A and B are shown apart, each in its own frame.
Chain A
Amino acid sequence: MNKVVSKSFFSENVVCIEIEAPRIAKARKAGHFVMVRVGDKGERIPLTISSADIQKGTITLVVQKVGVTSRKLAELEPGDYITDLVGPLGQATHVKNVGTVLACGGGVGVAPLLPIVEAMKEAGNRVISVIAARNKDLIILEDQIRAFSDEVIVMTDDGSYGTKGLITEGMEMVIAREKIDEAVIIGPAIMMKFASLTTKKHNIPSIASLNTIMVDGTGMCGACRVTVGGKTRFVCVDGPEFDAHQVDFDEMLLRLGGYKELEKQAEVEYLCASKKK
């Protein structure tokens, strides 16, 4: 069991949790994730390790409340314990000095983007970050991203903050202006689909970090499978990062919806039960 050390809210629905996990803190690299289970009846969900402090022996997760487990996690207080936490999982990001990197994060995808931005900067790249969300409240980690970026462009769908428009418009702006050597794309599947179409159009090598549904996270079940370059790959062990231009995002979008009704029902039941308490 791992203890929650601290907790803060980035917005009403996005929470940042620091958890005691000395071994994971030491072993993790940018791009790695953990599997988390809250309570004896809990399910296992994947969450990116946003940052780690080896001295303190802690890791930080940034979680968006979307369903039962993410809500349960957000309700934990410092001193509480996480029932199960395992990691670090997945393949680490290949970080090289390539020149100029365009880092694109949509919504809570900015959380997993942060450690990559940090590593890319450390490797000597010029990093331009485009972060986007539906509105101002959903823009997270802006300051942290700024600390490791040469430039940050903020886009909101409704124009309540930064520039009004979709993430792809922000990306186009940068691409029109200067040569981009590599793009990193993380966010909701639909955003990743269009962002990677944009970089494909301009022949910019791109990686996307996929957020498929997972059960074990160790390669045992195949729930996380996606088609990449015509081949079936497991996101938890072969990924989560893949060549964005090879990913079949349409298939991934359909598979993400596979449990939607059951999850929705569970969430409604959970919310009703919490109200009664």
Chain B
Amino acid sequence: MATNIEKLKQERDAAWRDEIRKSKKNKERTDIPRVHMPEAPAMERRHSYVEVNSGLITEQAVLEASRCLDCPDPTCISGCPVEINIPKFIKNIERGEFLESAKVLKETSTLPAVCGRVCPQEKQCEASCFYQLKLKKEPVAIGYLERFAADYEQQSGQISIPEVAQNNGVKVAVIGSGPAGLAFAGDMAKFGYKVHVFEALHQIGGVLKYGIPEFRLPNRIVDVEIESLQKMGVEFENNFIVGKTATIDDLREEGFKGFFVGSGAGLPRFMNIPGENLVGILSSNEYLTRVNLMGASQKGMDTPVVCGKNVAVIGGGNTAMDSVRTALRLGAEKAMIIYRRSLEEMPARVEEVKHAMEEGVEFLTLCNPVEYIGDSTGRVKQMRVQKMVLGEPDSSGRRSPVPLEGSEYLIDVDTVVVSVGVSPNPLISQSLPNLKVSRWGTLEVNPDTLQTSIPDLFAGGDIVRGGATVILAMGDGRKAAASMHDYLSNNQA
């Protein structure tokens, strides 16, 4: 994108940027060690829902910001799926203009306080930082800084509500209130549309609310973003399942002109091994939903949750880490990750694995369950696991695990959380027989416009990608908004 490079260069040439750059020698900057995120002590936090990362204090943030070299060719930006202008927001932190910094984030990202916390930075922006690529040093802590600026704005009470164009009277519907739907809603409101978000559950926020736990992403952070959208005129309706409570056709009749499906990949997968339906074996979605959406761990809540003593979580993704750390917080004496590949292949964010280890989670890698054994009341009491070795790399480039014959052994467990992936939510495709769906159940879209086989229906996020990330879902929401705006503008007159 040539214009983009031009624009970046122009902004970089601004007098204040030049001044900041000259204020310190590069050598001085590169000599500063990467900041450490202040954390709640491992042995205390493992029993509480307090946020683990407490956030940088101002001095730390400014110092870390000064590490960034404001590169003429900022490679970090190409590592960010939504191409946040990283040096611009960071240099604003260095000069103490924190609100300005937050504004820069919001030029491209709808949920900076969320992404600063949950993006896999080590695989994205930070992986492409000059420090990492060329200096072989620890990258600038882009994620921590992003969180700092976004939190500063949230706490300042001076949240900038993006300007919205004059209402054009055109109604559009959003199906699902996860990051894809929220990002879409924000951009469409800016373009002047009347946006109505439908959510199946009783809370708005999708996985950000029912999946990712409080100790990693406090609900209030998400609520602030939702309130901003409300201030922009976006309407939210919970307890409404599109395809069930009303169909897309019903909504067309009610005057909706465009639809964005951001219904996520909500269906839990199981392994289909013997004993998997024993009492005490549940999906990570059920476990996390009981605790996060239904508040089962708090006193006075009606929803129960099993507080196992010996808990095994099957899987190596973020969902598995969230589940196993939740088990500790529910009082587990022993909390284990059972993962069939090795630590290196784990898809979870590196920081979550580190935090889980500090909190005392045991990692049984190269190990896979093959059977569950129950007691006379049907409750799981043991699992049979098999050791694995790594074979040739598979289609994902990761070395695939191969079972080791004769290596099976038993582990005592009373609770097992199965966290081996999710499948796309079929509610929408079931209600729209003409909608093109891949053989994995994801919706097929034009990759440039995110338009589905039904012209007024666009889609993005996990329902298109399968289980992916918050930032990719959000990027999709924004892209779909731009192309729906085009589509509706051309089909209006």
A: residues with CB less than 8 A from B are: 23-24, 27, 37, 39, 41-44, 68-69, 83-89, 215-216, 218-223, 225-227, 232, 237, 251, 254-255, 257-259, 262-263, 266
User: Do the beta carbons of A219 and B240 come within 8 Å of each other?
Assistant: no
- Whole-angstrom CA separation of A28 from B91 in the bound complex: 57
Residue B35, interface by CB 8 Å? no
Can you give 7 contacting A-B residue pairs, CB < 8 Å?
A: A23-B245, A85-B239, A215-B294, A219-B267, A219-B426, A232-B277, A251-B378
For B303, the chain A residues whose CB sits under 8 A away are 43-44, 215
For A218, the chain B residues whose CB sits under 8 A away are 200-201, 241, 266, 425, 427
- Whole-angstrom CA separation of A84 from B303 in the bound complex: 15
For A227, the chain B residues whose CB sits under 8 A away are 277
For A237, the chain B residues whose CB sits under 8 A away are 426-427
- Identify A41's interface contact among B283, B295, B304, CB under 8 A: B295
| Closest chain A CB from B297 CB (angstroms) | 12
| Closest chain A CB from B390 CB (angstroms) | 29
B: residues with CB less than 8 A from A are: 200-202, 210, 238-241, 244-246, 266-268, 270, 272, 276-280, 282-283, 285-286, 289-290, 293-295, 300-304, 306, 377-379, 425-427
- Identify A220's interface contact among B267, B277, B378, CB under 8 A: B267
- Whole-angstrom CA separation of A226 from B377 in the bound complex: 16
User: Do the beta carbons of A84 and B304 come within 8 Å of each other?
Assistant: no
Identify the closest chain A residue to B423 (Cβ): A219
User: Do the beta carbons of A86 and B240 come within 8 Å of each other?
Assistant: yes
Counting from the closest, the 6 A-B pairs by CB-CB distance are A254-B378, A262-B304, A221-B286, A43-B302, A86-B239, A43-B303
- Identify B285's interface contact among A85, A220, A226, A263, CB under 8 A: A220
- Whole-angstrom CA separation of A68 from B294 in the bound complex: 15
For B267, the chain A residues whose CB sits under 8 A away are 219-220
Given A69-B302, A219-B266, A221-B268, answer yes or no on A84-B279 (Cβ-Cβ < 8 Å).
no
User: Do the beta carbons of A232 and B272 come within 8 Å of each other?
Assistant: yes
- Whole-angstrom CA separation of A238 from B362 in the bound complex: 37
With A216-B201, A220-B266 known, 20 other A-B pairs at CB within 8 A are A41-B301, A84-B238, A85-B239, A86-B202, A86-B240, A86-B245, A88-B245, A215-B303, A218-B266, A219-B425, A219-B426, A221-B283, A222-B285, A225-B277, A255-B277, A255-B378, A258-B280, A258-B379, A266-B302, A266-B304
| Closest chain A CB from B200 CB (angstroms) | 5
- Whole-angstrom CA separation of A42 from B278 in the bound complex: 26
For A41, the chain B residues whose CB sits under 8 A away are 295, 300-302
For A220, the chain B residues whose CB sits under 8 A away are 210, 266-268, 285, 289, 425
- Identify B289's interface contact among A215, A226, A254, A259, CB under 8 A: A215
| Closest chain A CB from B193 CB (angstroms) | 23
For A37, the chain B residues whose CB sits under 8 A away are 202
- Identify A222's interface contact among B240, B245, B283, B427, CB under 8 A: B283
For B300, the chain A residues whose CB sits under 8 A away are 41
- Whole-angstrom CA separation of A149 from B264 in the bound complex: 44
- Per DSSP, chain B at the interface is loop
- Whole-angstrom CA separation of A131 from B272 in the bound complex: 37
| Closest chain B CB from A145 CB (angstroms) | 27
For B426, the chain A residues whose CB sits under 8 A away are 219, 237
- Per DSSP, chain A at the interface is mixed
- Whole-angstrom CA separation of A141 from B278 in the bound complex: 36
For B210, the chain A residues whose CB sits under 8 A away are 220
Max chain A Cβ within 10 angstroms of own Cβ: one of B200, B202, B239, B266:
B239
For B202, the chain A residues whose CB sits under 8 A away are 37, 44, 83-84, 86
User: Do the beta carbons of B270 and A27 come within 8 Å of each other?
Assistant: no
Identify the closest chain B residue to A37 (Cβ): B202
Given A220-B267, A257-B279, answer yes or no on A27-B245 (Cβ-Cβ < 8 Å).
yes
For A232, the chain B residues whose CB sits under 8 A away are 270, 272, 276-277
Identify the closest chain A residue to B300 (Cβ): A41
- Whole-angstrom CA separation of A218 from B201 in the bound complex: 9
For A42, the chain B residues whose CB sits under 8 A away are 302
Identify the closest chain B residue to A2 (Cβ): B239
| Closest chain B CB from A1 CB (angstroms) | 9
User: Do the beta carbons of A223 and B245 come within 8 Å of each other?
Assistant: no
Identify the closest chain B residue to A90 (Cβ): B244
User: Do the beta carbons of B302 and A86 come within 8 Å of each other?
Assistant: no
Max chain B Cβ within 10 angstroms of own Cβ: one of A44, A216, A220, A227:
A220
For A257, the chain B residues whose CB sits under 8 A away are 279, 377-378
- Whole-angstrom CA separation of A266 from B266 in the bound complex: 29
User: Do the beta carbons of B286 and A251 come within 8 Å of each other?
Assistant: no
User: Do the beta carbons of A27 and B279 come within 8 Å of each other?
Assistant: no
Given A86-B241, A216-B289, answer yes or no on A251-B277 (Cβ-Cβ < 8 Å).
yes
For A43, the chain B residues whose CB sits under 8 A away are 294, 301-304
| Closest chain A CB from B463 CB (angstroms) | 13
| Closest chain B CB from A22 CB (angstroms) | 10
Max chain B Cβ within 10 angstroms of own Cβ: one of A23, A84, A215:
A215
Identify the closest chain A residue to B278 (Cβ): A254
User: Do the beta carbons of B286 and A223 come within 8 Å of each other?
Assistant: yes
Identify the closest chain A residue to B203 (Cβ): A84
Identify the closest chain B residue to A250 (Cβ): B378
Identify the closest chain B residue to A254 (Cβ): B378
User: Do the beta carbons of B302 and A254 come within 8 Å of each other?
Assistant: no
| Closest chain B CB from A51 CB (angstroms) | 18
- Whole-angstrom CA separation of A17 from B240 in the bound complex: 21
Max chain B Cβ within 10 angstroms of own Cβ: one of A42, A222, A237, A266:
A222
User: Do the beta carbons of A27 and B280 come within 8 Å of each other?
Assistant: no
- Whole-angstrom CA separation of A266 from B200 in the bound complex: 27
For B279, the chain A residues whose CB sits under 8 A away are 254-255, 257-258
For B278, the chain A residues whose CB sits under 8 A away are 254
User: Do the beta carbons of B239 and A84 come within 8 Å of each other?
Assistant: yes
| Closest chain A CB from B179 CB (angstroms) | 17
For A216, the chain B residues whose CB sits under 8 A away are 201, 289, 293
| Closest chain A CB from B25 CB (angstroms) | 54
- Whole-angstrom CA separation of A39 from B300 in the bound complex: 11
User: Do the beta carbons of A222 and B289 come within 8 Å of each other?
Assistant: no
Identify the closest chain B residue to A227 (Cβ): B277
Given A215-B289, A216-B201, A220-B285, answer yes or no on A24-B280 (Cβ-Cβ < 8 Å).
no
- Identify B286's interface contact among A68, A84, A215, A254, CB under 8 A: A215
